[in-house]
Chain A
Amino acid sequence: MAQVSLINVEKHYGRHTVIPDLSLEIEDGEFTVLVGPSGCGKSTTLQMIAGLETISNGTLLIGGRDVTELPPKSRDIAMVFQSYALFPHLSVHDNIAFGMKIRRTARDDIKEQVDSVAGRLRIEPYLDRLPKELSGGQRQRVALARALVRRPGVFLMDEPLSNLDAKLRVEARSFLSKMHRELQTTTIYVTHDQSEAMTMGTKIVIMNEGKIQQVAPPLEVYNRPANRFVAGFIGSPAMNFLELEVGEEALLDEAAGIAIQLPDRSRATLQPYRRRKVVLGIRPEGLRPVGLADSSPVSGANFTVEVVQHLGHETLLDAVAGPHRIIARVPPTDASAVGERRTFAFDMAAAHLFDAETGANLAQSG
């Protein structure tokens, strides 16, 4: 069993606190992705789990064992680094076998295990080569092989795809997902790429400034973000945010000519916020430009189209009204033109309301 538990873990560098208080449960077999902007503490958290960074306070359990004070080799983990960290002076074979030689594994066993894992990752032809003679994708597979051969209880991966080109990255993502499905080994994966997080993880942990913002499966994070930060971080293009005043029945910005009708279910939630500002969040696909033939939408507003981006399978409209800027995702056949004033319908069923000060999702905070 390889459940990972971080209990009130803190990390300080002198007087500077990077991780104030982090608690997280990762179940056995889960593929958990730690995602967040640079400097959010995700790599530090991974390094603490690996034992490469000390834990200032708190407890770390792996497989039910307290490993807080144990060195990396005693934690039953294997790690793949962003830069692969292959030993440049050793052949591919010796890179993979490095740990086994340290542990004084018998030569025959080493050969058998190296050959097996090399075959699985299709790197047998490269066993005698040095890392500098390999491509980026090949080096990545060697790094994976070195981790796989340990048969650890937990895989730790620190942005292992960020050095690959876009095409290879897509291939590598599906390879890693397939590998996880086969092995069912607990995997903790760090990335700053939210699309990587969405496509690979069974559970996403979004971090910011050393704190966990939300822990949930990908679709839940996408459809029910806990706060404004999560809502803005996940999804590409990012969620649109409009800071509006709460009126009797609508969200208003009179100066910009915006009045978006509130659905009945939201009016009760917003009662305490009457005449105060809240943040309306709506994803690009929740906006629909309304044609002349359509009746005026109940929840809609007029924006002027500033940029039209044709992506082939869809079109993105960049539009503005006063200080508010939105991006709408529309079908490729949409005929909006730059400079045109359009009415956009807001799908309020898919919209979110956030506290303007705390950023908390008002639907989830009651």
Chain B
Amino acid sequence: MSDIALARSHSWTAARFRRVLPKVLATAAALVLALIWLGPVVLIAITSVKSNQDFLSGPFSLPTALTWAPYQAVWNGLGFGTLMANSLLYATTGSALAVLLALVPAFALSRFDLPGKRLVFGLLLTGMMLPQQTVLIPLYDLLRTLSLLDTKIGLIIVHGVYGMPGQILILRGFMTTIPREVEKAAEIEGATDFQIFWKVILPLSLPGIVVGFTLNFIAIWKEFVFGLVFLNSEANFPVTVGMLKLNSDRYMSVFNLPAAGLVISQIPIIILFILAYRRISSGNFVGAVKG
């Protein structure tokens, strides 16, 4: 190869390298982050299908023999069926209650020029920023006064009300994207305010309701503090509180059971997220008014 051709070849390689290098670095960084996120998840999943001896002899190695015994032990030993059923009850009804309570305020905040609107917004946001611990004592007191301590309905009400501000913000955001002319058209057609809300706004807010419900469901499912403080009876425990047993002395050196418990407890969330993923990530809906 001549000197000129060689020089050209070298400069071409250098230019290509400079072009490709940022992409390689970004991909490598993303892989590292993915490993950091997924690593513990994969480790837990692997641990959950190992015998405890298998784990102790090699915590990070693949199982020498797959076993489902940890799942059986956790399900039967901890009454996982009841725990999961309770969590499902709290997450479903608590989310539904939060959404229901939030619908009308969200509509009002999205549509009407109310006096003190900014103050209401500020209060909502401030409330959401306060940690759970700040409301534990007053809520405990309130539930005790209403004889709702250690009751399923009490925890459901707490979750519903606690989740309401977040739902108002999510739903309000969706409702503001509904074109005003659609409501005006309904008004011209003779619909009352309630009919406009029920027949027009609510159906068009369905994507927002699904997103809000899903996010709230996940939050309640993962929630631990309220369940721990407001409930005493094992029959009422959600899965997060019920799994505390696996932290006791009895299970000090047992690792595969907590792993199996964690995997079981996350299955409903994973299913829900897969089903609702597109709605959550898009955040939009086809309004179908203009063009």
Q: Which of B184, B204, B286 contacts A85 (CB 8 A)?
A: B184
Find out whether the CB atom of B181 lies under 8 angstroms from the CB atom of A81. yes
Name the interface residues of A83-130: CB closer than 8 Å to any CB of B. 83-89, 98-99, 102-103, 130
* B181–A72 CB distance below 8 A: no
Q: Which residues of B contact A130 (CB under 8 A)?
A: 288
CB of A176 closer than 8 Å to a CB of B: no
Give the total of B residues in contact with A, Cβ under 8 Å.
22
Residue of A nearest to B182 (CB): A85
Contact across chains for B188 and A88 when beta carbons are under 8 A apart: no
B181–A83 touching, CB < 8 Å: yes
Q: Which of B181, B184, B188 contacts A73 (CB 8 A)?
A: B188
A4 within 8 A of B: no
Which residues on the A side are within 8 Å of B184 (C-beta)? Answer: 50, 52, 79, 81, 85
Verify if A136 is at the interface (C-beta below 8 Å from B): yes
Q: What is the distance, in angstroms, from B196's C-beta to the closest C-beta of chain A?
A: 10
B203 at interface (Cβ–Cβ under 8 A)? yes
Nearest A residue to B288 via CB reads A88
CB <8 Å contact, B195 and A88: no
Of B186, B190, B289, the contact of A88 (CB 8 Å cutoff): B289
Q: Which residue of A lies closest to B289 (CB)?
A: A83
Q: Is the CB of A79 within 8 A of B185?
A: yes
A316 is an interface residue with CB less than 8 A from chain B? no
Mostly helix, strand, loop or mixed at chain B's interface? helix
Q: Does B124 contact A (CB under 8 A)?
A: no
By the criterion CB–CB under 8 Å, are A163 and B290 in contact?
Answer: yes
The number of chain A residues with a CB under 8 A from chain B is: 29
Q: How far is the CB of A12 from chain B (nearest CB, A)?
A: 15
Identify the closest chain A residue to B190 (Cβ): A73
A52-B184, A81-B181, A81-B184 as given contacts; A86 in contact with B289, CB under 8 Å: yes
CA A89 to CA B189, docked complex, whole Å: 16
A19 within 8 A of B: no
User: Are B187 and A99 touching (Cβ within 8 A)?
Assistant: no
Contact status B203-A98, CB under 8 Å: no
In the complex, the answer to whether B290 meets A88 with C-beta atoms within 8 Å is no
A81–B185 Cα gap in the complex (Å)?
A: 8
B288 cross-chain contacts in A, Cβ below 8 A: 86, 88, 130-132
List residues of chain A with CB within 8 A of the CB of B291.
136, 163
> Other than the known A83-B179, A103-B190, A132-B288, what 18 A-B pairs have Cβ atoms closer than 8 Å?
A50-B184, A50-B188, A52-B187, A72-B188, A72-B190, A73-B191, A77-B188, A79-B188, A85-B179, A85-B184, A86-B185, A86-B289, A87-B182, A88-B204, A88-B289, A99-B190, A102-B195, A146-B185
- CB pairs A–B below 8 angstroms (16 shown): A52-B184, A73-B187, A73-B191, A81-B181, A81-B184, A82-B181, A83-B289, A85-B184, A88-B286, A88-B287, A88-B288, A89-B204, A98-B186, A102-B189, A103-B190, A150-B189
On A, residues with C-beta under 8 Å from B are 50-52, 71-73, 77-79, 81-89, 98-99, 102-103, 130-132, 136, 146, 150, 163
Top 6 nearest A-B pairs by Cβ distance? A88-B288, A73-B190, A99-B189, A85-B185, A85-B181, A132-B288
